[in-house]
Chain A
């Protein structure tokens, strides 16, 4: 797994954790919509990490 994939994957992970925190911690409820936005971002970066990994695994890349 390349550094590119690992770093983008790490971003997805951090955003997912933040989405969970915003969704579950009552003190953070002052910003409704945050959990959905950071969750959407986590999804976008997870898909991106997957696409980068897949591109690196393609036969022509090897």
Chain B
């Protein structure tokens, strides 16, 4: 089975391949730097660097956030967005508006250099770079803000190139886009909005850091508006990549048809603005009606992800049953788990369930003020940023890069194991961190000993955080090193990486890229798929259990939260 996506990528003109390779290479470099600084930060938090001074520790934390959160996620998104758009639209296989994409690459790479230099040699600002932390304007602070703005320009231009590619296909062929192409356009639109949000947040800060204006009046709000979009962007990207790779790995398209899938992807964008209310929960004078509305609306934040998850899991289960799978979970074992992308996606689903359950605990208005400044935040969000999004993006890389470069992956067996080792380290990191948060351990504080006045459990749990960080950091660095080494070696055939083909079982025939024909759907109607709905029920039960646990634990603490004007 040769997936049309892979065929189209392989058929791209060399100039397009060069463009995509540049984005991929810079993305991997940003990830490698982010991982290395993150590993060091985790060890520092775990108490394994006793002589490290505070400024050096906060610099490590800043460089970790700048590299991993801003630049890895951005460059990876540009790479995958352009690859999926070019690989899933009809017509000629090439990227439209290539000069705009190259200009975007140039500005974003310049931004990367400026931000890294500013964060490395200026005051340690943390990744959100608030002017009040810098205290005084300086060229180094300006470099960080200018870097973010250049990245925003790059994102906007690259997103435009993706949209132009899809529009050219529509102009030439008419009709509806394939689902992945539609989802990619929605994703590109949200990238453009996020670029606008970045200007709102960082332009006043840049003018201040250059000494051209006073301190920004609403930096925190601007940052949180940008951050709200940046929550959503990688999650939307994650499910788009899942949708595309399921087809590549199993030959299975949506059993629910293109219309339902497109509605699910459009729902991401529809829920972005209404769910932003919860960022105001720390405002002490926020009216009760807004708190209630915000709590209710925040519950919708996971709906599109759950919808796409259901579409994919149910489609896989239905097709596997058509192909002869038996038992409630028997079909899961038939998935191509030895393929690095399948392993990465499987681990990502597990991590999404864990991160998702805790995120719903955090965005409740009674709990948000108590937990927002504790280690709960890094404890849960690494399940999402690293365990879900990064592993998914890397799954996209290990499928797309061999098609683009003609070089097969080195050590695919190791690439299939490392996501699970990462998840193991992440589980230690998250469990220790969240447990520490329930005991009040703060985030963004390198040493939690407080001269012996802090609860002894804090230091012990932080050692668990450091241990987990060491395992997941080392596993991820090894993963990136293997992928990079695969691309740098001379072209040759590598080990065979297995996929399965459930698209041709019985009466089932796959339709247009990622979609199903009428015959296909009729055949699937004779089957039943229970694992997807069961998984959602388990998720809801976990959310309830973690919320109840959190309430009970926090009620026992002698603290009162009144908010502090943040978000």
Residues of A in contact with B (beta carbons under 8 Å apart) = 2-4, 7-8, 10-11, 14-15, 18-19, 22, 27-28, 30-34, 36-38, 40-41, 44-45, 48, 51-52, 55-56, 58, 60-62
B244-286 interface (Cβ within 8 A of A): 259, 262-263, 266, 269-270, 272-274, 276-277, 279-280, 283, 286
- CB-CB contacts of B191-208 with A at 8 A, as 1s and 0s? 011001100100000000
With both chains docked as a complex, state the minimum distance between the C-beta of B550 and any C-beta of chain A, in angstroms.
Answer: 25
Interface centre among B168, B172, B174, B182 (most CB of A within 10 A): B174
Bound Cα distance A37, B329 (Å)? 45
Bound Cα distance A52, B222 (Å)? 30
Q: When the two chains form their complex, are residues B174 and A62 in contact, meaning their CB atoms are under 8 A apart?
A: yes
Q: When the two chains form their complex, are residues A61 and B171 in contact, meaning their CB atoms are under 8 A apart?
A: yes
CB < 8 Å: which of A8, A10, A14, A30 contacts B189? Answer: A8
Known: A33-B218, A37-B196, A61-B172. 8 other contacts (CB 8 A): A8-B186, A8-B189, A11-B186, A14-B274, A32-B221, A56-B170, A56-B175, A60-B172
B167 CB–A CB distance under 8 Å: yes
B278-307 interface (Cβ within 8 A of A): 279-280, 283, 286-287, 289-290
CB < 8 Å: which of B218, B266, B273 contacts A7? Answer: B266
Q: Known contacts A14-B273, A33-B218, A37-B197; decide if A60 and B171 are in contact (CB<8 Å).
A: yes
With both chains docked as a complex, state the minimum distance between the C-beta of A7 and any C-beta of chain B, in angstroms.
Answer: 4
By beta carbon, the residue of chain B nearest A53 is B170
What are the residues of chain A within 8 A of B197 when measuring CB–CB?
A: 37
Bound Cα distance A22, B273 (Å)? 10
What are the residues of chain B within 8 A of A8 when measuring CB–CB?
A: 185-186, 189, 266
Bound Cα distance A48, B272 (Å)? 17
Interface centre among B168, B170, B263, B277 (most CB of A within 10 A): B170
Q: When the two chains form their complex, are residues B280 and A40 in contact, meaning their CB atoms are under 8 A apart?
A: no
What are the residues of chain B within 8 A of A51 when measuring CB–CB?
A: 163, 167
Q: When the two chains form their complex, are residues B177 and A31 in contact, meaning their CB atoms are under 8 A apart?
A: no
Q: When the two chains form their complex, are residues A30 and B280 in contact, meaning their CB atoms are under 8 A apart?
A: yes
By beta carbon, the residue of chain B nearest A40 is B196
Q: When the two chains form their complex, are residues A11 and B269 in contact, meaning their CB atoms are under 8 A apart?
A: yes
Bound Cα distance A51, B263 (Å)? 19
With both chains docked as a complex, state the minimum distance between the C-beta of B166 and any C-beta of chain A, in angstroms.
Answer: 8
Interface centre among A32, A41, A51 (most CB of B within 10 A): A41
Q: When the two chains form their complex, are residues A10 and B262 in contact, meaning their CB atoms are under 8 A apart?
A: no
Between A and B, 7 residue pairs with Cβ closer than 8 Å are: A4-B185, A4-B262, A37-B193, A40-B196, A52-B185, A61-B171, A61-B174
Q: When the two chains form their complex, are residues A3 and B176 in contact, meaning their CB atoms are under 8 A apart?
A: yes
Interface centre among A7, A27, A37 (most CB of B within 10 A): A37
B139 CB–A CB distance under 8 Å: no
What are the residues of chain A within 8 A of B218 when measuring CB–CB?
A: 32-33
Bound Cα distance A35, B458 (Å)? 42
B455 CB–A CB distance under 8 Å: no
By beta carbon, the residue of chain B nearest A2 is B176
B371 CB–A CB distance under 8 Å: no
Q: When the two chains form their complex, are residues B259 and A3 in contact, meaning their CB atoms are under 8 A apart?
A: yes
Q: Known contacts A2-B176, A4-B177, A8-B189; decide if A31 and B196 are in contact (CB<8 Å).
A: no
Q: When the two chains form their complex, are residues A33 and B266 in contact, meaning their CB atoms are under 8 A apart?
A: no
Q: When the two chains form their complex, are residues B266 and A10 in contact, meaning their CB atoms are under 8 A apart?
A: yes
What are the residues of chain B within 8 A of A15 when measuring CB–CB?
A: 269, 272-273
By beta carbon, the residue of chain A nearest B177 is A4
What are the residues of chain A within 8 A of B176 when measuring CB–CB?
A: 2-4
By beta carbon, the residue of chain B nearest A44 is B192
What are the residues of chain A within 8 A of B286 when measuring CB–CB?
A: 30
B173 CB–A CB distance under 8 Å: yes
